[in-house]
Structure 1
Amino acid sequence: MREANDRKEEALARSLASQSEQMRDITGSLTESVLLAIESLNHKETLEGSTALRRSLALQPRIIAELQHNSSVNAVAFSPDGRKVATASYDNTARLWDVETGKQIQRLEHDGSVYGVAFSPDGKKLATASSDSSARLWDVRTGKQLQRLEHDRSVNAVAFSPDGQKLATASDDKTACIWTLDIRLVMEEACSRLAENITHEVWSSMDDPDSDCLTCPAEGSFNRSSIWPWERREFRLILSQDP
């Protein structure tokens, strides 16, 4: 009688192990597969049950690092190369982490909760969205703030264009905005607006009103000047690399 019961339990255990394998391979239900394998081993320890359990556990997601903030974490994003991860939190910070080690690389401060993070396509910049009514652009390597883009209310999300030259922001002020990040385009727009609004009186008040052009210097990594030939009534932007 006992041997008959043992054979019955072994048969049931093997059947459950087989169901565990099918659940994993056919339906992809890892949790159910693990439970069936455990139930199989509860009836009788078999090679089939042990193998089914090990295979299912090997496919289960596992935590390789816990990235700690001082308050709730709202968003997360991987860098394009997968080596860094950015997190956004109610503790008024966005943080950059090394995926392999779990160590913090940069701590990026806002004046309010941070709701969103996004890496540029080349992975060199990080955009953040915050309740302090700003989206900010950061240098990933140094942690230096590069730009601050203002809304009238909280900024909830940020996204880069595929070429990395534009940034989209979404805000509680009922607007979504698209910003150009290419300084040359910003300079061109500035020159265009100045050309439209400058008057002859302004021109005449210059130190050299007889000059053929008006020069507007700008700071940055380029030597930039906008040249306005008065007769043509238009601006031309000249960009040259610093020597």
Structure 2
Amino acid sequence: MIRTFDWDDYDSVAAVWAATGADVLSRAELETKLTRDPELFLVAVADDPAPSPSPGSSPTSSPGTPAGLGLDTAVGAGPDTAASAGHDTPTGTAPNIAASTGHDTTTGTAPNTAASTGHDTPTTAASAGHGIAGGAGLDAVAGAILGTWDGRRGWIFRLAVDPARRREGIATRLVHELEARFEALGCPRINLLVMPNNEAGLRFWQRHGYLPVPDVLCTKPLQPQSPEE
């Protein structure tokens, strides 16, 4: 089942982000973001049955597709390249969502990249070969996706799927549900970012119609940053 994020999901979502190599957004960062468009932060719970592929069909995700496809990274050609047509740098992305580098790296941090310091460490860790444990009273979270809407463009950040639930179509279902919610808001175009070395992530997004553009992402921090940032 795909549904809107609930705060009881936080530890499970943080564990999924950490397991896929994404920076973990702190509760404070999410509280700031969720003052706008909370319905655009979605989770897939683990009781969602995996679709049965038809005979001869290939799995939704290729064997090389990383579990974290949407962790704040651009589908562009260069490290700072905006991903989808429309040439819009995110003017309305909520503050404090940027990754520690200041770049809001979206869908494609490499699966084995360690989460950066300065963010909350999830209290629920993913064990190898096992799913992510759920929050109190809720089903286990199998995946998450974060959308923002500035009234002109939609942006997708931090799509991630529990490594134990890969190749079940969870990422695709999260994307489709988020796209439907953007459409309901009247959003004419969706952008996202992917790191240039994330070839599997780029292939995933291109299969879903998100094409690279040559824009260059520029960024300026408005608050003092620690040396490691």
| Larger RCO of the pair (alpha carbons < 8 Å, separation 6+) | 2
Instruction: Considering fraction of residues, name the structure with more helix.
Output: 1
Q: Tell me the TM-score normalised to structure 2 length.
A: 0.22
Structure number with larger C-alpha Rg = 1
As a proportion of its length, which structure holds more strand? Answer: 1
